[in-house]
Structure 1
């Protein structure tokens, strides 16, 4: 029979192991968001059942792996749209979306406006970084 302290220690060790595997899954999504990724493949790599991975990932990061991947793709797409150099089809492809329609739907859900409106809005903004209350350049004191 197991001692209760051992059970707690084993449970804590398993929890830490799960967190490390979840971090590796999140890091892979962050690195490879443009590649085809699915929960089954991520779960195999993490040596976890897919349902367990999804549950634990949601608890740890506030979103399922699929939702996290979609958010990462939309985040990157927003950056590409602000640059204005690529067509919408090229942006969708660059972030790993095979369908421009699906891309536009997900983008609109997360950003609150379609990619075309987002690009137009971004183009109307002042280009470059705007610094608030930047200190004036120091004038050298000449003696």
Structure 2
């Protein structure tokens, strides 16, 4: 891979609609291509111009040993959330000395504290979407303890 200045790493997942139930990773789950819950497979990626790409294995597949055996899913493949997969892919990019850029991700990743904390621990800058219900504090700040409700007697 040619090493030069890089603007951003883009984090996303891609739904791959499927009609049947036998393809590895197929489950009823959110499919971005369709904008709704539907039968699909999901692949999780970090892109420069796609730098890492891996099929997301839903927990129903990860925990079904017979189904995995029938289609040849290796035993070492365990269930991971999409943010966990992305962090592993990003760690791999960092270890491969790929030029670092700002990590961009939608709220599916931005809402995950572990994902954001993982980026910080890798020394990466990020711009992620979050839902309005997600609470954040500036670096170094923590929430104040709740005020007492009344006198105890």
- TM-score of the pair, normalised by structure 2: 0.29
Q: Per residue, is there more helix in 1 or in 2?
A: 1
What is the TM-score when the length of structure 1 is the normalising length? 0.31
Whose relative contact order is higher, 1 or 2, with alpha carbons under 8 Å and at least 6 apart? 2
Which has more strand, going by share of residues? 2
